[in-house]
Structure 1
Amino acid sequence: MASKPNIPKGTRDFSPVEVAKRNYIISIMRNHFEKFGYQPIETPSFENSDTLMGKYGEEGDRLIFKILNSGDYLDKVSSEQLQTINYKQLTGKISEKALRYDLTVPFARYVVQHQSEIEFPFKRYQIQPVWRADRPQKGRFREFYQCDADVVGSKSLWQEVELVQLYDSVFAELGLNGVSIKINNRKILSGIAEVIGASDKLIDFTVALDKLDKIGEDGVKKEMLEKGISEIALIKVQPLFNLTGTIQEKLEKLSTLLSSSEEGKTGIEELLFICDNVTKLGLKKSILDLDVTLARGLNYYTGAIFEVTAPKEVAMGSIGGGGRYDDLTGIFGLTAMSGVGISFGLDRIYLVLEELNLFPKTVTIATKVMFLNFDESHAFEAMKAIRTLRDNNIKAEMYPDAAKIDKQFKHAERRGIPFVVKEIEDSNFTLKDIQSGEQLQLNLVDLIKKLT
């Protein structure tokens, strides 16, 4: 007996209902992206390995799915190399391509490759799947969609202000109240590392700090010690873990802590500009907050960084994030090209909306009306009417077989089709509302009006 087929861990099949709900979220995002002036692009699902490797830090590199070379992938590997079992040496010889880890690095590659065709500043959005060899858990998958909006070619902090507004606009239309948009600045983190004497451990410092919500304060300190950050440095950094108050109050306390760091003070000035203007312009539903422990462990961020968390009543990790990356295109040979962007976590946003019951009931209605099928002549008349309905943007179909009427009705009920045309006589249609049981006799013009 053949074994039951299955799919890899961390991946999912999506039913028609689930796809309809995902498309609902995507359509709202796409609408707001375009209202804010962002243009769509797409990039390949896999890139050359050297495009991706080394861009996400050591931990990120380990989560990149490598693709074996086609044909005899061991052709370039000697027997001596095979015996050493050194996977780092072997990987470069047997795999030259990898599935994309995110959309930002491929976007940077796109900008460099197509720079002569692009009008800068360039505002793009991109909605495509990415892959990470992570441990699957609730809200964390190995294959998932990212929905990104980025601007390259401008250092203006108004872009950060606008991106906060973009987050807020999308979440407001989705009906999500109380979303927290956390903000920090990598220059502040660099300044802190400088004043505690750990500038040479900046990456280790930020990677550990970024895990605060997962492993707690003690876990973060333990990891920092293991990475060679001194006990004295940890004493100096202690105020970070206890920073409270309004954004203004937090920035004032940081100003004292970072008084000897020029880079740190620049970070404070940038945050002050962004937060002050966002506050003056106002937000619809979201809350902006300064989180000085927010680090986002990706190496390419250089300025403001964002992380978005769901409303408190939902136990979910971040549902979005991003930041400024002044040096990203430089790794592909295009210097002095500042960029900033954000990402929406489609899959987690879906789970949040599901848990809060925020999907409109109409989202999952694929077909508005189904015509019953009695016989060939009746079916032909039904198909003539269906064609007219479809020309009027009404989703209509006919049950394909002249089956028992009860079976056809049950099919419509299980499909969630709200209306059924029972009979057609003298160009009049008997329309039944499945939910209420109400029946109406309508001509074609009135039928269109009723279903529109």
Structure 2
Amino acid sequence: MASKPSIPKGTRDFSPAEVAKRQYIIQIIKSNFEKFGFQPIETPSFENSDTLMGKYGEEGDRLIFKILNSGNFFYNKSKIELPDSLTELQTNSAENIAIEQRVELNKFTNRISEKALRYDLTVPFARYVVQHQNEIEFPFKRYQIQPVWRADNPQKGRFREFFQCDADVVGSKSLWQEVELVQLYDSVFTALGLQGATVKINNRKILSGIAEVIGASDKLIDFTVALDKLDKIGEDGVKKEMIEKGISEEAIVKVQPLFNFTGTTSEKIEKLSVLLSSSEEGMKGVEELRFICDNVLNLGLSTANLDLDVTLARGLNYYTGAIFEVAAPKTVAMGSIGGGGRYDDLTGIFGLKNMSGVGISFGLDRIYLVIEELGLFPEAVTSTSKALFVNYGEKEAFYSMKAIKELRAVGIKVELYPDNAKVGKQFQHADKRFIPYAVIVGEEEMNNNQYSLKNLVSGEQKKVSFDELKIILK
């Protein structure tokens, strides 16, 4: 007996209704990207392995999907055997593999796999900029909406294949770009009807400044990781973790204001300028934040909120300036639905130095869940055809098709039931497809150049002319 068909773990099928909803979100994001002057690019779904490897840290490298060399690769090469030092790998767990064996394994992997599925859109974008630098007009504003793949452990909300929606500007250090990116978030969420999203902002230089002021520059990551847990484990829990990580009690006293960091954005900036007055790096961060926040607030936001959050510490290994993270409206329990930041050397990994950039991304899957939960998808998004023409036979079908052709020409979604089946079956088909109207054409309708239009929700039926039919269905 044939085995039941299935799909790989961490991937999904999408129904017509789900695809329609996803396309609705993507279309709104895309139209706003273009309204703000971003241009679309696309990169291949797979890259050369050496483009991706070593760019995401050790953890990231493990999550990259390798592609086996294809076609007659194995036929053209002499028999490939595992190096002697790898034969015991079959009985060894990953933790027990010696470093030399890992090196051997990597060499072997490189011989049979030269390509890998892209892990994100940022590294391929950096590769694109370096490769096409002579054709690109800088500053370059690009957006990209494509799937990415991660060999992750699948769980609720975490998939092995998912879409990323990124917008980046490279080739400019101007902070007006950050101001515009906050406005872009606001514009997209307003268009989606998602009111009350919070764009949290911080600055890498602020975090470095705080660590410098308390004499713990070497513990920057430990400090920020602990501070980031403030809303989860509270002030005492954070202080305890900091002490365990070797940050002195004296240093913790100096940052006491951070544990009660409230007030308006302007008040928070003033508190930071006092706290960081002795740090040149920290004060640069304060001035950058002041510029971005003042201009965003003076220009105004439609439905989003801007919040200066000093505990925000994402992407510390590559962000150099502003850091963004977007929280869904408080009525929904959901992680971040977007994020990004400023990086001063994105293209340096491929040899093009001093190319500053700033970018943001939208979390498509999470935004979908939030909009679904809040009931914000317009009905029209998932509606199928507006009317089903009932098929009574060849003559009637031809008469119907002439009307269908004209209705489609003005953008009305209609269709003919393809078979001359029992009328009850045809009405049942319309019901299951949630089609609101049936159009009935018999001898009488054809003789009088009319159509019988039945509302499948109310059951009401009436005879109409073609022009009336067009107005009702429009």
Q: TM-score, normalised by structure 1?
A: 0.92
Q: What corresponds to 1:80 in structure 2? A: 85
> Deviations 1:290-349 (Å, cap 9, x if unpaired)?
110101135221110100010111000000000111111111111221111110101100
CA distance in 1, matches of 2:134, 2:22: 35
Following superposition, the deviation at residue 66 of structure 1 comes to: 3.4
Q: Return 179-188 or 332-341, whichever deviates more.
A: 332-341
Spell out, residue by residue over 1:272-297, the C-alpha distance to the aligned partner (whole angstroms, 9 max, x if none): 00000010011100110011010113
> Paired residues, what number?
452
* Alpha-carbon distance in structure 2 between the residues aligned to 1:365 and 1:439: 21
SS at match of 2:345: coil
Q: Is the 8 A contact 2:138 2:170 kept in 1?
A: yes
Q: Distance in 1 between matches of 2:153 and 2:235?
A: 23
For 1:312, the equivalent position in structure 2 comes to 330
- The answer as to whether partners of 1:247 and 1:289 remain within 8 angstroms in 2 is yes
The equivalent of 1:4 in structure 2 is 4
SS in 1 for 2:202: strand
1:196 Cα offset (Å) = 2.8
CA contact (8 A) 2:121 2:164 kept: yes
SS in 1 for 2:134: helix
Comparing 198-207 with 371-380, greater Cα deviation is found at: 198-207
The SS at the match of 1:425 is helix
| Structure 1 position 198, deviation (Å) | 3.1
- DSSP-derived class of the 1:347 partner: helix
Q: Which amino acid aligns with 2:83?
A: S
Cα separation, partners in 2 of 1:316 and 1:340, compared to 1, 3 Å: same
* Greater shift in the superposed pair: 194-203 or 320-329: 194-203
Q: CA deviation at 1:220?
A: 5.9
- Residue aligned with 1:19, SS: helix
How far 1:234 moved relative to its partner? 4.8
Aligned AA (1:314): V
Tell me, what secondary structure is at the counterpart of 2:291? Answer: helix
Structure 2 letter corresponding to 1:379: A
SS in structure 1 at match of 2:419: coil
Structure 2 counterpart of 1:437, from 439, 459, 462? 459
Is 295-304 or 48-57 further displaced after alignment? 48-57
Q: Measure how far apart 1:122 and its partner are.
A: 1.0
Deviation of 1:420 after TM superposition, in Å, equals 1.3
8 Å Cα contact 2:202/2:324 also seen in 1? yes
Q: Classify 1:337/1:19 alpha carbon distance in 2 versus 1 (closer, same or farther; 3 Å).
A: same
Between the aligned partners of 1:125 and 1:435, the Cα distance in structure 2 is 43
Q: Distance in 1 between matches of 2:420 and 2:130?
A: 60
- CA apart distance, 1:135: 4.1
Is the Cα contact below 8 Å between 1:207 and 1:297 reproduced in 2? no
Aligned to 2:108: 93
Match of 1:353 among 368, 371, 380: 371
The equivalent of 1:342 in structure 2 is: 360
Indicate the residue corresponding to 2:92 in structure 1.
Answer: none
Q: CA, structure 1 residues 129+58, in 2 after alignment: closer, same or farther (shift >3 Å)?
A: same
> How far apart are the structure 2 equivalents of 1:313 and 1:409?
41
Matches of 1:43 and 1:180, distance apart in 2: 31
Compared CA separation, residues 76 and 199, structure 1 to 2 (3 A): farther
1:5 and 1:231 map into 2 onto residues whose CA distance is 60
- Between 1:215-224 and 1:101-110, the stretch displaced more is 215-224
Q: What residue identity is the alignment partner of 1:327?
A: D
Confirm or deny that 1:268 pairs with 2:286: yes
- 1:226 to partner: Cα distance: 6.7
Q: Percent identity?
A: 74
346-355 vs 382-391, greater mean Cα deviation:
382-391
Q: Could you say what secondary structure the match of 1:358 adopts?
A: coil
2:453 counterpart of 1:449 = no
AA in 2 matched with 1:101: Y
Q: TM-score, normalised by structure 2?
A: 0.88
Give, in whole Å, the separation in 1 of the partners of 2:257 and 2:116.
41
- 1:446 CA displacement: 3.1
Q: Following TM superposition, by how much is the alpha carbon of 1:119 offset from its aligned partner in structure 2, in angstroms? A: 1.0
Amino acid in structure 1 at the alignment position of 2:388? M
* Residue in 1 that maps onto 2:262: 244
CA distance in 1, matches of 2:230, 2:61: 21
* Change in CA separation of 1:305 and 1:18 when aligned onto 2, cut-off 3 Å: same
- Label 1:268 to 1:220 Cα distance change in 2 as closer, same or farther (>3 A): same
Q: How far did 1:417 drift? A: 1.2
Give unpaired runs (5+ residues) of structure 1: none
Q: Could you tell me whether the CA contact under 8 Å between 1:56 and 1:300 is conserved in 2?
A: no
Instruction: State how far apart, in whole Å, the 1-side matches of 2:51 and 2:233 are.
Output: 31
After superposition, the Cα gap between the structure-2 partners of 1:214 and 1:126, relative to the gap in structure 1 and judged at 3 Å, is: farther
Change (3 A) 1:259 1:55: farther
* Secondary structure of 2:143's aligned partner: strand
Structure 2 counterpart of 1:317, one-letter code: G
Question: Hey, what's the Cα distance between the residues in 2 that align with 1:37 and 1:430?
Answer: 49
Matches of 2:234 and 2:144 in 1, distance apart? 34
CA contact (8 A) 2:205 2:320 kept: yes
Q: Residue 37 of structure 1: CA displacement?
A: 0.9
Worse overlay, 359-368 or 43-52: 43-52
CA contact (8 A) 2:196 2:304 kept: yes
Q: Quick one: which of 191, 206, 212 aligns to 1:173?
A: 191
Are residue 323 (structure 1) and residue 346 (structure 2) matched? no
In 2: Cα distance, 1:397 partner to 1:57 partner: 53
Which AA in structure 1 matches 2:329?
P
Q: Go from structure 1 to structure 2 and tell me whether the alpha carbon gap of 1:128 and 1:323 turns closer, same or farther (over 3 Å shift).
A: same
Determine if contact 1:76/1:93 at 8 Å carries over to the other structure: no
Structure 2 counterpart of 1:425, one-letter code: M
CA separation of 1:305 and 1:92: change in aligned 2, threshold 3 A: farther
Aligned to 1:144: 162
In 1, Cα distance between equivalents of 2:169 and 2:203: 18
Aligned residue in 2 for 1:33: 33
Q: Relative to structure 1, is the Cα distance of residues 327 and 209 closer, same or farther in structure 2, using a 3 angstrom cutoff?
A: farther
Q: Which amino acid aligns with 1:91?
A: N
Structure 2 gaps of 5+ residues are 90-96
* Deviation for aligned residue 1:6: 2.5
CA distance, structure 2, for counterparts of residue 129 and residue 224 of structure 1: 38
Question: Shift of residue 43 of structure 1?
Answer: 1.1
Computed over aligned residues only, the root mean square deviation of the Cα atoms, in angstroms, reads 2.6
Distance in 1 (alpha carbons) for counterparts of 2:225 and 2:128: 27
2: CA distance between counterparts of 1:222 and 1:79?
49
CA positional deviation for 1:125: 1.1
Q: Does 1:391 align with 2:409?
A: yes
Answer whether contact 1:370 1:421 (CA < 8 A) is retained: yes
Q: Kindly provide the amino acid, as one letter, of the partner of residue 375 in structure 1.
A: G
Cα distance in 2 for partners of 1:60, 1:216 equals 30
2:443 matched to 1:425?
A: no
Deviation per residue, 1:342-375 (Å, 9 max, x gap): 1010110000001011111111012122111111
